[in-house]
């Protein structure tokens, strides 16, 4: 499984590509940051993020894209920029037909470090250890992008099983429509009785009782 992790942001959008499967050593294929100037027009900044992500998608051709889910903060301006960059990542992946998964920061921290309250230094240290790197990726946005990819690789099998179980349960509990009941009745064929039929009584012999 090859996953592109995206830590959305307008000034620095972290990107990282990880390949592997759950339960086995993972490999980092690439890591970096898509940067835009804070002095540029918003539209131009969004175009720059899109172009940067498109280059990563072209080069690494991931099977999945994992994006950090935007959550509420006190700084509304920061939230808006993060949400806009996140939307660009969703657009780029969906336009290519690549499945996108959203993971909250606490989910990523818990998956990588075992604690949903880990700080950025702890996340960077565990990413370095899990990917067997010489040093933590810089800046922290790049390490967070790798953590997102790792989180998705480890959580995907469990998520798939839950989705399959939910779909199976829904199909079994869904009420049948009249048309479905009629189709099922026709498929089962006409009902036949298994009770034995009474044997017909013998007809009287017309010659019995006559004398020559």
Positions annotated as catalytic residues are 7, 68, 141
Please name the residue that has the structure tokens 């009902």: 191
User: Do 29 and 63 meet the contact criterion of CB atoms below 8 Å apart?
Assistant: no
Task: Tell me how many degrees the CA angle 166-168-169 measures, rounded to the nearest 5.
Answer: 65
**106 with 116: CB under 8 angstroms?**
yes
d(CA 11, CA 138): 15
d(CA 186, CA 198): 29
Distance CA 189, CA 52 (A): 62
Antiparallel, parallel or unpaired: β 2-7 and 12-19:
antiparallel
* 30 and 17 Cβ atoms separated by less than 8 Å: yes
Q: Are strands 12-19 and 27-35 parallel, antiparallel or unpaired?
A: antiparallel
């Amino acid at each position: 499984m090859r996953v592109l992790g995206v830590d959305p942001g307008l000034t620095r959008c972290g990107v990282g590509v990880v390949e592997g499967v759950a339960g086995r050593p993972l490999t980092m294929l690439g890591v970096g940051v898509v940067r835009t100037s804070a002095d540029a027009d918003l539209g131009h900044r969004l175009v720059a993020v899109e172009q940067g992500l498109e280059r990563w998608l072209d080069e690494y051709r991931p099977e999945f894209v994992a994006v950090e889910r935007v959550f509420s903060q006190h700084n509304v301006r920061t939230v808006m920029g993060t949400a806009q960059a996140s939307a660009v990542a969703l657009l780029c992946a969906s336009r290519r037909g690549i499945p996108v998964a959203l993971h909250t920061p606490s989910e990523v921290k818990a998956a990588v470090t075992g604690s949903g309250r880990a700080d950025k230094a702890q996340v960077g240290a565990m990413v370095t250890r899990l990917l067997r790197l010489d040093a933590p990726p810089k800046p922290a946005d790049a390490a967070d992008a790798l953590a997102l990819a790792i989180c998705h690789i480890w959580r995907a099998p469990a998520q798939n099983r839950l989705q399959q179980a939910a779909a199976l349960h829904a199909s079994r509990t869904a009420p049948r429509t009249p048309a479905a009941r009629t189709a099922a009745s026709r498929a089962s064929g006409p009902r036949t009785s298994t009770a034995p039929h009474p044997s017909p009584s013998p007809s009287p012999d017309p010659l019995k009782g006559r004398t020559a």
